[in-house]
Amino acid sequence: MGYSALIFDMDGLLVDSEPVWHEVELDLIESFGYVYSDEVRNLGIGMRADEFAAILQQHYPRLGDSAAAIESAIIKRLLALPPERIKARPGADEIVRYAATRQLPRAIASSSTQIVIEHFVGLMGWEELIPNRFSAQFMARGKPAPDIYLHAAAQLGLAPARCLALEDSRAGTLAALAAGMTCFTVPDLSHSSLDDFAAVNGNVFRDLYAVMAEIEAKGLFA
């Protein structure tokens, strides 16, 4: 089957930001004397920031008097990091330029807030290359609900089945599949493995170079 559009996740897929998110979360949590467990961290991978902040408040109540306050503190720390700390994932720049050169309809559909999306896209120099950038913060539900992917497809004027979604997380993969899209999952190996997705998605790739090779070999956008 051929596709008409590429819809990208951002954190962990295009941008190597999951370790950076973890760093700022860890810094905040430990500043209040807590130990940040991997179990709690894994609950939030791929989730919307406000929804994860609510989970953090349940486990670490001294972080803030509201989920909104915790979310704000984390994002403030993230945006204050030196720009050189934010790097593209292997193959990300290439696949973004591949889509732009071929004038494929394309968009970001991210769990991050709009301000974080714009910040990261700006640091990567992708503002013109990915003109459509959508945040789940404006949706009724975050990933793994399909809302942000359904919204992105609607804004591109395409049926979800005509869109190929690229994801790195379990929550994001489930969201794209629930929207009726084909999803190519490229696990962020900083927190997961290829085997973690065996029961979730049949289309799992080691990196974005492998995704591009699959697209070209099968003429998925021909």
- Catalytic residue numbers, as ranges: 9, 11
**118: closest CA among 132, 100, 101, 139?**
132
Helices 67-79, 114-124: inter-axial angle, 10-degree rounding: 10
Q: Are 148 and 142 in contact (CB under 8 A)?
A: yes
Phi and psi, residue 119, nearest 5°: -65, -50
Between vectors from CA 69 to CA 66 and to CA 71, what angle results, nearest 5°?
A: 110
Other C-beta atoms closer than 10 Å to the C-beta of 14 total 27
- Please tell me whether the peptide bond between 144 and the residue prior to it is cis, using omega within 30 degrees of 0: yes
CA-to-CA separations, 161 to 6, 50, 158, 165, 178, in angstroms, rounded = 11, 29, 8, 10, 11
